[in-house]
Structure 1
């Protein structure tokens, strides 16, 4: 892709030309400030938590700093995401870049104490003007922090990490290496995200991310070796009822049944914390509009995922959706002004006939817009 054209409300045409980032530091700051640029490589729930920029990587138990990783993120399942940024103008060979990442992963899983990662996250959040516990709570949205950090530690011990190369241009030679490694490695993943920058003479800037390395062979290979969900849907519902009561089980069963009857694909997420309701897009990509979360007892509308669909790519379309959610007859709605947030309500609200009708009308409208 070499040019992008934007048509304004007045039918004016703005041409954007592919341009290089002014510096690698700017590129890295963009990723730290806007992790959603990496959403396509952020795991099934599409969210990342920044642990630290320039994360030290030791090569021994004494925690000495041998290397420095550009970014360390965590996804909602506690999987460490190692990010190395490389501009097209970088003269390092692809072999050097790949070898460096493998060094980071091999030594990180061996020598990163979980306590140091927690400390690093707290420093990062504080430096950004955030209260660390509140920032983590917002990210987890109901999941117990202690459970989350135990999952991070378990993933490190098992080598379950995601290595991510990020560049403004991924050469085909590097893309093939990434694809090959991702097909061969498990439980670890190796992916790349190409983020092209387009600018206009008037200062308009557009960033276009593209995922590299998630081949069908890699998906099938990991599906074969990774265990299926160890709990059934019935067991999931029993656990929900044990934590929140029978009305939550009844509400979950009612809405899951409705989703299935109305063409949604329903199933357990890999983490087993949530039941998803998916709408396959016309191009077969998942849309993931709704999650029923066991840890919080809430049903979430995933605006961050819907933002990746043609129907809800504009902020205006998502604002209209948020307004509809706020109009539902419930006092349990949690929402923010962010147009990539996860508005949610208590599962038991589904048992109220007026609310059920209101929510299912919204869900139908979302499905129809995605299909149209």
Structure 2
């Protein structure tokens, strides 16, 4: 977790990150009182999701009629996509194991667990608790309860649902599993939301962030072509926050430590970091979309280079907690921005270690 700095008129205040201690009180109730902690504008930037709260701690039976599951939070969006949310704390070991199996069971049994009549009955009760009506919500979305019910049933029968992991901080194992689920189950919208929390006086600040979300790229007029020759200015201009800040900070540190910095050519800009005394080829490469490549597969032509390779792979595996190839796979280590950005300070330390060790 990163720190947040709040600046007032007199002095700057550092907000300390905290982790949830109780799923029900801190995560479920957070969603109940603030449904937009599921950031609809990040889940679908082109058509931000709006939410119909349905239930918390929803008890459901298995196909035999026996009590089986308790779903932490249920809602649906304006397109009648049922959204099942599982809340877990970082400190809960189940975040890494049982929670994925649990939501997979929900998905596998969705047609036997839910129908529009059941869902909208609970939604009506939830709306009444907040002084509203289901009909007024539907009217605000330009539809009716009957039409919405038909779309709900069609989506459920077609397996079109959304599964959300809502956590205070996600371990990298969960991120890897979500990445796999998104590829393997394209009909199911799998979303990981980190609700980062910071203490402020007697309250807290909550910053929800969808894993993998990056602000929209520059408009087409700024996009590069396959013949683009990149330089520092073009590379910087092609990035958006938060990628730009993290990448430029790491590149600036590499320059201070004496690494060679160069730029590639092509539609996607790349900055290349080289430590010539170890290898004439780039050791690290970072693209404008934030992808980081560690070129350890090229560090094999001398004992010196091979030692550096082992050093980098050891740090990636044990200090940064990132997966590393096993065996003799001759390809770079590749990580998305969301995987390495939270470890950017450790990456800077690794560059310092390499310079101290080999220069």
Deviations 1:203-231 (A, max 9, x none): 3521111212569xxxxxxxxxxxxxxxx
Corresponding residue for 1:170?
A: 170
Corresponding residue for 1:257?
A: none
Query: What runs of 5+ residues in structure 2 fail to find an aligned partner?
Result: 215-220, 222-237, 243-359
Residues 48 and 129 of structure 1: CA distance in aligned 2, closer, same or farther (over 3 Å): same
Normalising by the residue count of structure 1, what TM-score does the alignment of the two structures yield? 0.53
Corresponding residue for 2:147?
A: 147
**Structure-2 separation of matches of 1:172 and 1:100:** 18
2:128 to 126, 129, 137: 126
Using the TM superposition, give the Cα deviation of residue 135 of structure 1 relative to its aligned residue in structure 2, in angstroms. Answer: 3.5
* CA RMSD after TM alignment: 2.7
**Structure-1 separation of matches of 2:166 and 2:152:** 22
Using the TM superposition, give the Cα deviation of residue 111 of structure 1 relative to its aligned residue in structure 2, in angstroms. Answer: 3.0
**Structure-1 separation of matches of 2:162 and 2:83:** 5
Corresponding residue for 1:109?
A: 111
Corresponding residue for 2:20?
A: 21
Using the TM superposition, give the Cα deviation of residue 23 of structure 1 relative to its aligned residue in structure 2, in angstroms. Answer: 2.0
When Rg is computed on C-alpha atoms for both structures, the one with the higher figure is: 2
User: Does structure 2 retain, via aligned residues, the 8 Å contact 1:161–1:187?
Assistant: yes
Corresponding residue for 1:185?
A: 185
User: Does structure 1 retain, via aligned residues, the 8 Å contact 2:57–2:73?
Assistant: yes
User: Does structure 2 retain, via aligned residues, the 8 Å contact 1:178–1:192?
Assistant: yes
Using the TM superposition, give the Cα deviation of residue 162 of structure 1 relative to its aligned residue in structure 2, in angstroms. Answer: 0.9
Using the TM superposition, give the Cα deviation of residue 58 of structure 1 relative to its aligned residue in structure 2, in angstroms. Answer: 2.8
Bigger shift: residues 78-87 or 16-25: 16-25
Other structure's SS at 2:93 match? coil
Query: Does residue 283 in structure 1 map to residue 282 in structure 2?
Result: no
Query: Does residue 135 in structure 1 map to residue 92 in structure 2?
Result: no
Number of positions where the alignment pairs a residue of Structure 1 with one of Structure 2: 217
Using the TM superposition, give the Cα deviation of residue 12 of structure 1 relative to its aligned residue in structure 2, in angstroms. Answer: 2.8
Deviations 1:302-336 (A, max 9, x none): xxxxxxxxxxxxxxxxxxxxxxxxxxxxxxxxxxx
Other structure's SS at 1:66 match? strand
Deviations 1:212-252 (A, max 9, x none): 2569xxxxxxxxxxxxxxxxxxxxxxxxxxxxxxxxxxxxx
Query: What runs of 5+ residues in structure 1 fail to find an aligned partner?
Result: 216-262, 264-280, 286-372
User: Does structure 1 retain, via aligned residues, the 8 Å contact 2:51–2:77?
Assistant: yes
For residues 7-86 of structure 1, the aligned pairs below 5 Å read 7-8=7-8, 10-26=9-25, 27-40=27-40, 42-43=43-44, 44-60=47-63, 64-86=66-88
User: Does structure 2 retain, via aligned residues, the 8 Å contact 1:182–1:214?
Assistant: no
User: Does structure 1 retain, via aligned residues, the 8 Å contact 2:39–2:210?
Assistant: no
**Structure-2 separation of matches of 1:93 and 1:85:** 9
For residues 190-209 of structure 1, the aligned pairs below 5 Å read 190-200=190-200, 202-203=201-202, 205-209=204-208
Corresponding residue for 2:2?
A: 2
For residues 288-327 of structure 1, the aligned pairs below 5 Å read none
User: Does structure 1 retain, via aligned residues, the 8 Å contact 2:55–2:75?
Assistant: yes
**Structure-2 separation of matches of 1:133 and 1:81:** 20
User: Does structure 2 retain, via aligned residues, the 8 Å contact 1:94–1:174?
Assistant: yes
Deviations 1:78-124 (A, max 9, x none): 11111000011213252211001111122123331221111111122
**Structure-2 separation of matches of 1:131 and 1:77:** 18
Corresponding residue for 1:352?
A: none
Other structure's SS at 1:50 match? strand
Using the TM superposition, give the Cα deviation of residue 177 of structure 1 relative to its aligned residue in structure 2, in angstroms. Answer: 0.5
**Structure-1 separation of matches of 2:126 and 2:32:** 10
Deviations 1:27-75 (A, max 9, x none): 211111111111246543321111111123332275x542111011101
